Amino acid sequence: MFATFTSVLVDSDLHLSHDPHYIPEIIYRQVRFRLTRLCTYSNIPDMDKRQEKALMIAAKSRITKKGDLWLVPSQSGSGNYKVDANPEAPSCTCPDFELRKLRCKHIYATEMVIEREQSITQTTQTANGETTVTTVTEKVKVTYKQEWTAYNTAQTQEKDLFQKLLAELCGLVTNPEYTKGRPRLSYGEMIFAAAFKVYSTVSCRRFQSDLRDAQGKGYLTKVPHFNSIFNYLEQEALTPVLKELITQSALPLKSLESDFAVDSSGFSTCQHVRWFDAKYGKEIDHHDWVKVHLMSGVHTHVVTAVEIKDRNSNDGTFLPGLVEDTAKNFSINEVSGDKAYATVLNHETIAKVGATPYIAFKANATGAAGGLFGKMFHYFSFNREDFLTHYHKRSNVETTMHMVKAKFGSRIRSKGAVAQTNEVLCKILCHNICCVIQAMFEFGLVPTFCAEIAVAQKAS
């Protein structure tokens, strides 16, 4: 069940296996107790917390070099901290380093930017016959090659292919039978219109010309009124259909994805929320938002499962459902997530589908809970470098969130709660179709959609 994680190396003579009978039970308990005490009273979790913050700084902030120093932007205010990246005695001007005289998050972030080393060896020979070997080390930032030919082709043909693939997906939707009243608009065509409107990022009224163009291409039998699109987005029956379409849109990438990451992010609405902040002694006014909990593949960034809830929803409680929904269609090898998902239940849920959980642990976490949670905690503590190699795949789900927001907007136009949920689901659906289009040119993928999706009949 937990086949991918065979053992955790503690020292040269002793392993902690996922099988409790791998070593005698008494030795297993004694070693677990000693490891738990060591991890509890050491500063390893605190150091990891700084490293985790450093990852965010290195990924999102602009760290520049000025002379022999590096300028790292402050995360809590304006200005920069000056970092001396001397590997023997690094220093920083931030309060944390001045207090502890140990590596702070700014030093870790600078070292992450200076990630790859290239060594050049020079051999020189003097007049008296002595040979001198000099090694010059140049540190440069790691870069990744872009498949520009595939990317350019996909981008230039995306809009035409998007309409074609979206029409194929919406053709899977079957309409409920109506026994009275005037004929309704086709659910498949209304979902096509709503999703295509979200893809265009313009208002429904200005979007009418795009719908007329889609009708001319045969994707619509009738151009719906812009108010009809609003009305259909308000229907609760549309929510499960959109979720199923998201699932179907991810299936063509099934052979490319086996590692997944989970995270959540907010999409702001047009409503405002107010509260009194006791810390600052004043009333705070901000846009309200809905929270998107999703699981995506780390290779193509396709979304395999998604839940939309209110802004106060807890992240950790949604992981079991996301994992189980993904496991229905994908073979999961490993799942990575931040410390918000570090619970015993979440570790066990991931193991049940035959995957390995790589979830960061909170500063106060110990291995006292035992089981898989305890074993992964010991793995995290004593094989940190190997653990983080898998855990850092989690950054891909943040890339997924950024892709959705950058392309289709981080704000929601709809006002009703149901319409807001359906609008965000349309954004995710559009994102998945774009991922499929990219895979068509990068990997030679030929997508096919074949499962019928029924719309639930509204009770009269």
The stretch 354-358 carries a mean pLDDT of 96
| pLDDT band of 125, cuts 50, 70, 90 | low
Q: Report pLDDT digits (tens) over 35-85.
A: 444 444 343 344 467 888 888 888 778 888 888 899 999 887 778 999 998
Q: Report pLDDT digits (tens) over 243-291.
A: 999 999 999 999 999 999 999 999 999 888 887 878 778 887 788 899 9
| pLDDT band of 342, cuts 50, 70, 90 | very high
Q: Report pLDDT digits (tens) over 399-430.
A: 999 999 999 999 999 999 999 999 999 999 99
In three-state form (DSSP H/G/I as H, E/B as E, the rest C), the secondary structure along the chain is CCCCCCEEECCCCCEEECCHHHCCHHHHHHHHHHHHHHHHCCCHHHHHHHHHHHHHHHHHCCCEEECCEEEEECCCCCCEEEEECCCCCCEECCHHHHHHCCCCHHHHHHHHHCCEEEEEEEEEECCCCCEEEEEEEEEECCCCCCCHHHHHHHHHHHHHHHHHHHHHHHCCEECCCCCCCCCCCCHHHHHHHHHHHHHHCCCCCCCHHHHHHHHHCCCCCCCCCHHHHHHHHCCCCHHHHHHHHHHHHHHHHHHHCCEEEEEEEEEEEEEEEEEEECCCCEEEEEEEEEEEEEEEECCCCCEEEEEEEECCCCCHHHHHHHHHHHHCCCCCCEEEECHHHCCHHHHHHHHHCCCEEEECCCCCCCCCCCHHHHHHHHHHHHCHHHHHHHHHHHHHHHHHHHHHHHHHCCECCCCCHHHHHHHHHHHHHHHHHHHHHHHHHHCCCCCCCCCCEECCCCCC
| pLDDT band of 296, cuts 50, 70, 90 | very high
